Every structure is written in structure tokens, then in C-alpha cells.
């Protein structure tokens, strides 16, 4: 029977003075968590600032620090929102187009005559489209990729004409915009004030349908 070594520690792991150490005895000390076996490689550093891994004090394998550069990913800036102005060649619509361009929007316009004869430089930056709001199918392609619509459509004439231009035309535009999933539709209307309602009955009756 081999020699046994007694433990002089009186803690719970040593089993008092008569505790047994070594072999597979139950009363032996547990491994010291701060004692690292010599077979494990520990990182260290020499005077040159290089890291080395060693199995023991006599063997040192020097390896320089390796710093990998992160890959630079270029993300293109988001494309500006596209605004469609209905009736962009009119008095109100042209000012809306100009203001939207100044704000950095991509601006398109739809009207019955297409590109107007405006000599100002901003007009060349607008995408002009010729179309008829009374024909809803002609609006679908024009509203592709549009973020918002501003309707400045309006007209004067007979009561029946004003009723269609100010009412039916805008209703058609709203329906197509909804089908295309356009979240914002701004409709420029007019206040119903006094006796003007009787002079422009078709105009106001068309407007209030929206």
C-alpha cells in the first residue's frame, strides 16, 4: 500500500487534521482555482510590446499583435422623396413646385397641357406630365414611386364643368393614390364664404365633395 500524506488544514475539504490527500480519496482538497497547470499557455508580453504564448518559462513563442481593420461599407444616401403636384402649372401649383424643389424634393407635375412656358430655371427641374384627372387609368403610371400628392387642381366655367374639375377629378386622384399606397394627399380647397357660393355654385359643390 502506497504512502499517504496527511493534511494539516482544518477546513471542511481537508477533513480536519486527519484528512487524506492524494489518490482518489473523498477527503482530498479541491483544486485551487488560482493554480494554473503548466501545460496551459498563458498570454504575456515582452519588452518589445509583443505578445507571446508559452507552455513554461523556458519556451516562448513570440507572435505580434494582429489588429484586423473593419471593412468600410459605403451606404448611398437615401433618395429624396418624390412629390407629385396636380395642376403644377397654375398660380398656386407653380409656387408649390418651386418650394418643394427648394426643400430638396424630386418634383413631378400633372396637368392637361404638359410642360408650361415658364422661363424660370426651377421649371426645368420639374418632371412635367400631360394627363387628364377625369381618366383615372392614366394616373396609375404617373403615381408610381410617389411619396405624397398635392392637388392644386381647380377650374372655372359652367356649373357642370366646375363640378367635375373641382370634385370628380380630385376624387379620382385620391382613389388612385390610395390604390398605390400613397400615405399623404394634400388637397387645396376654398372657403365657403357668403354670396360667392351662389355665383360659383358648381365650384363649391365640387369642392365640398372631397
Three-class secondary structure of residue 188 per DSSP: coil
Q: Dihedral of the CA atoms 163, 207, 100, 93 (nearest 10)?
A: 40
**Which sign does the torsion angle of CA 84, 90, 94, 96 carry?**
negative
Strand-pair partners of 42: 54
Q: What residues does each domain of the chain span?
A: 7-70, 82-207
Backbone angles phi, psi at 171, to 5 degrees: -65, -40
- The position carrying cell 519556451 is 59
As a whole number of angstroms, the distance between CA 204 and CA 196 comes to 9
Per-residue confidence (pLDDT) for residue 80, from 0 to 100: 64
pLDDT digit string (tens) for the chain, length 210 residues: 444 444 444 444 444 444 434 444 455 565 555 554 554 445 555 555 555 555 554 555 555 556 666 677 776 555 568 999 999 988 899 999 999 999 999 999 998 888 888 888 999 999 999 988 888 888 889 999 999 999 998 777 777 777 787 788 888 999 999 999 999 999 887 655 554 555 555 555 555 566
Contact 208, 192 (CB under 8 A): yes
Backbone angles phi, psi at 82, to 5 degrees: -100, 125
Tell how strand 148-151 and strand 82-86 pair up: parallel
Per-residue confidence (pLDDT) for residue 27, from 0 to 100: 54
As a whole number of angstroms, the distance between CA 44 and CA 60 comes to 10
Contacts of 172 (CB under 8 A, 6+ apart): 133, 134, 135, 136, 139
CATH architecture of structural domain 82-207: 3-Layer(aba) Sandwich (3.40)
Per-residue confidence (pLDDT) for residue 102, from 0 to 100: 94
Per-residue confidence (pLDDT) for residue 39, from 0 to 100: 47
As a whole number of angstroms, the distance between CA 139 and CA 146 comes to 12
Q: What is the pTM of this model?
A: 0.55
Q: Nine-digit cell at 161?
A: 364643368
Q: Nine-digit cell at 73?
A: 461599407
- Local structure of residue 169 (DSSP, 8 states): H
Amino acid at each position: 500500500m502506497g504512502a499517504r500524506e496527511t493534511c494539516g488544514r482544518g477546513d471542511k475539504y481537508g477533513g480536519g487534521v486527519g484528512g487524506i490527500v492524494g489518490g482518489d480519496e473523498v477527503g482530498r482538497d479541491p483544486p485551487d482555482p488560482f493554480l494554473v497547470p503548466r501545460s496551459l499557455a498563458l498570454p504575456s508580453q515582452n519588452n518589445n510590446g509583443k505578445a507571446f504564448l508559452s507552455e513554461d518559462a523556458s519556451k516562448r513563442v513570440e507572435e505580434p499583435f494582429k489588429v484586423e481593420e473593419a471593412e468600410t461599407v459605403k451606404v448611398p444616401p437615401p433618395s429624396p422623396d418624390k412629390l407629385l403636384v396636380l395642376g403644377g402649372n397654375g398660380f398656386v401649383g407653380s409656387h408649390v413646385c418651386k418650394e418643394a424643389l427648394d426643400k430638396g424634393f424630386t418634383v413631378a407635375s400633372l396637368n392637361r397641357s404638359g410642360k408650361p412656358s415658364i422661363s424660370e430655371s426651377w421649371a426645368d427641374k420639374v418632371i412635367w406630365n400631360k394627363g387628364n384627372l377625369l381618366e383615372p387609368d392614366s394616373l396609375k403610371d404617373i403615381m408610381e414611386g410617389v411619396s405624397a400628392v398635392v392637388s392644386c387642381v381647380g377650374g372655372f366655367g359652367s356649373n357642370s364643368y366646375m363640378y367635375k374639375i373641382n370634385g370628380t377629378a380630385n376624387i379620382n386622384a385620391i382613389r388612385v393614390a390610395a390604390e398605390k399606397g400613397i400615405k399623404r394627399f394634400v388637397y387645396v380647397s376654398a372657403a365657403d364664404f357668403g354670396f360667392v357660393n351662389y355665383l360659383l355654385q358648381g365650384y363649391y359643390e365640387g369642392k365640398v365633395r372631397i
